[in-house]
Amino acid sequence: MGKVRLSVWVDREIYNLFKEFVFKKHGKLHGVFGLELTRAMELYLKKEALSKR
């Protein structure tokens, strides 16, 4: 599946927490940061779609 570059401004504290979370989970950031962010977005979209019902 293709990848695209996302560039956005986010809350610094949240960014740091997220980085910490990804590093704790995978022991690295490179190659997995985007995967975790994709997962976060999928979860968010799912939750939003479901909460509409």
Nearest partner of 23 among 10, 36, 39, judged by Cα: 36
- Please count the CA atoms within 13 angstroms of the CA of 41 that sit on its side-chain side: 7
Q: Which is nearer to other proteins, 2 or 27 (CB)?
A: 2
Binding status of residue 40 toward other proteins by CB under 8 A: yes
Give me the least distance between CB of 12 and other proteins, in Å please. 4
Binding status of residue 23 toward other proteins by CB under 8 A: no
- The separation between the first and the last C-alpha atoms of the chain, rounded to the nearest angstrom, is 30
What are the residues binding other proteins (CB under 8 A)? 1-15, 17-18, 21, 33-34, 36-53
